[in-house]
Structure 1
Amino acid sequence: MTSSAADRKITALRGDGIALAEAADEFLSTHRVANPNTHRAYASAIDRTIAAIGGRDRLLADVTDAEISKALTALWGGCAPATWNRNRAAVASWLSWCSSKKRWAAPSVPAEAERRRENVDHTKAVARTKLERLLSRRDIPLRDKTLYRMLYETAARAAEILSLDVEDLDLDNRKAPVRSKGGDVEWVYWDAGTARLLPRLLRLPDGHCDGVVRTRGPLFLANRKPVPARRPGPEHICPHTGRPRLGYDRVRVLMEAHLGLDPHQLRHSAATHLGEAKVPLQLIMAKTRHKNPRTAMRYTRPGGEAVAEITAVLAPPRRTH
């Protein structure tokens, strides 16, 4: 082998000619991000980071650790610890795969962009009476009201419900299949509140043949059609309206504005309310699809209303005259 041929082989092995876009595409095609929800979240974080460090055509080997830190800070430095950690982990997983699995020259997430502490908040569950009042508000748009009610009644993760398509729904039996964190297909179930709202949500909006019902495509849609540069795959576009699937980040913003809550609080509240109703832990685990009892018990911590109610047991006996 000539010296120049050997040099080219070493260059290829090091990934000196690998562009950021190519490195990202290869990583996103691996089994570790096969779950659609994980794939969507990782792709969003990685694409935004690539845009912040010079664009898709820049070479991976030219990017420095300091640039990765600067990009993460600019994109998510002011966000909540959970948001920072989630996006940081996606980028770190990608870069680690490039350097360890492919042996490419790649930057890493430096120490100054370390994972942030997420404080455990035992007040996340919302009292049932307050939550019912919030979910019944008439000033919340139909799409958002249906989503919030469905998240609570299914006790599902927001990403799972947002990934549902219209054809997934079994309206008669009030259930639908979702793909869990581990990739398994599981069922979520809803009750009367969601069942009343879904038929209204599936009617096409004004200007789209009134009276026609959507039969295919994403269940929850964004308000506007996507711009060409950010157009998602056809599986994320409604064939009736041309609008894309509603995204998690947008839901988080809207729910904060409508309810003052985080999407996960609805799942947490549902588990807590089931526990307060003395539903056995095994059934709560079946509902929330937790595999570990210790994890499920963390979500079923009794709320303030339940603690206040049992406190009456400690009151002094009433005097009788």
Structure 2
Amino acid sequence: MDRLTEMEAFATVVDQGGFTDAARKMGISKSAVSKHISALEARLGTRLLNRTTRRVNPTEIGLAYYDRALRVLNDAGEADALVSSLRSDPAGLLRVSVATDFGVHHLSSVIGPFLDEFPDITLSIVLNNRFVELASEGFDMAIRIGDVDDATLNARKLAETTKRMVASPAYFQKYGRPMRIDDLNEHRLLHYSSQAGNAVWRLTAPSGEKRQVRTAGGLSVNDGQSLLNAAISGLGIAYLPSFLYTNAMAEGLVEDAIPDLPMEVHGIYAVHPQGRFTQPKVRAFMDFLTQRFAGKGPTNW
């Protein structure tokens, strides 16, 4: 007889407290349930159930076997559900958290083609500049910039970016060009106002030394495009990711403030909570984004 069926019959008898109710639960005859239990006890060489006229109770060995049998049956059920899920077409609500600047400038342009390809998926995208707790806040996945240190997340690299200090040629003509990090203290610096530690730029000197530059004063904005616009207008130096400034630099609207500084590359990742399997809707979006952003960065935007 099938071993899983024997386990299921035994567990159902324990749950229901008798053969009659177990047979009704399983949709088979009482004699069939009895045969499954007899075969199981014969194979194991021990009695698993104490039978009385009123009730059936597991023996001490039977109770231990019951606990393990439940795990096996649950795992088998999850395996069946996994196959069913993976064979199904991607569908349902997909909630995604995205860094604001990347979402506005790059993710928004690929949403239409994705929904055309997967019409049964409904996208809900939340733009913010904080690391949301995906599971507790109800998000299926997120797109994050920088190292992913959370061991509870699965991450897939989509692209790369770098950050540079940029300003307009008119600004450099009026205020001069900083030659080294210390010179930034004499310049007008623009910064994000919505990020933790927003008043500090963390830079790497040509020697490899890690430096911090305070940027309080001047102008603070909680939007990267607005900072880029301010830099283009000659209001100061902004420290921005390459996916924002690349086009403006190619058009000569901004220039690298200190070109000799090392280029630090940061990954752009799609992340989702770890689990036994990836939901089809999540996998579909991650596969789509991987194809769309292949070869992007760190300055090729």
Q: Shared topology, TM-score over 0.5?
A: no
Structure possessing the higher radius of gyration over alpha carbons: 2
Which is bigger in relative contact order (C-alpha 8 A, separation at least 6)? Answer: 2
TM-score normalized by the length of structure 2: 0.20
**Which structure's residues are more often helix, by fraction?**
1
